[in-house]
């Protein structure tokens, strides 16, 4: 069996149907109730900016958005503060990458 290498532009944009979205959203709800997630947010830290905002102000963010074929599973969800969450939604994926890079650089400085 051979694997076709897809161009970068299409690799992360598979067709996502309504049924897929529904299923993944239901999975996200379940994941949010899990002991694993409660442990994840217990420290109250945002995965992206590292700010301590308290567990109640963290929401579940899909690293690869559901609409882009991301799934509701442990490897793809992180706790994010409201500011980061909103920022991520308003930016293009490439712009979001740039934002994360500036955060990382700020930490090093
Ligand atoms: Zn944040």
Report pLDDT for 104.
85
DSSP single-letter state for residue 39: H
DSSP single-letter state for residue 7: P
CA distance 34 to 66: 19
pTM, two decimal places: 0.78
Report pLDDT for 8.
52
Sign (positive or negative) of CA dihedral 37, 40, 43, 47: negative
Domain boundaries, the chain: 16-108
pLDDT digits (tens, 9 = 90+) for 31-90: 999 999 999 999 999 999 999 999 999 999 999 989 888 999 999 999 999 999 999 988
Residues with CB under 5 A from ligand 1 (ion): 46, 48-49, 81, 84
In this predicted structure, the answer to whether residue 7 has a pLDDT above a threshold of 60 is no
Report pLDDT for 12.
53
CATH of domain 16-108: 1.10.30.50
**Cα(42) to centroid of ligand 1, in Å?**
15
**Cα(94) to centroid of ligand 1, in Å?**
18
């Amino acid at each position: 069996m051979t694997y076709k290498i897809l161009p970068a532009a299409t690799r992360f944009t598979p067709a996502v149907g309504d049924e897929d979205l529904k299923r993944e959203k239901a999975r996200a709800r379940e994941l949010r109730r899990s002991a694993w997630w409660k442990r994840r947010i217990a420290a109250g830290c945002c995965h992206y900016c590292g700010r301590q905002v308290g567990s109640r102000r963290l929401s579940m963010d899909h690293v690869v958005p559901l609409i882009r074929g991301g799934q509701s599973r442990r490897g793809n969800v992180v706790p994010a503060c409201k500011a980061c969450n909103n920022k991520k939604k308003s930016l293009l994926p490439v712009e979001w990458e740039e934002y994360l890079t500036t955060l990382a650089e700020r930490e090093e400085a």
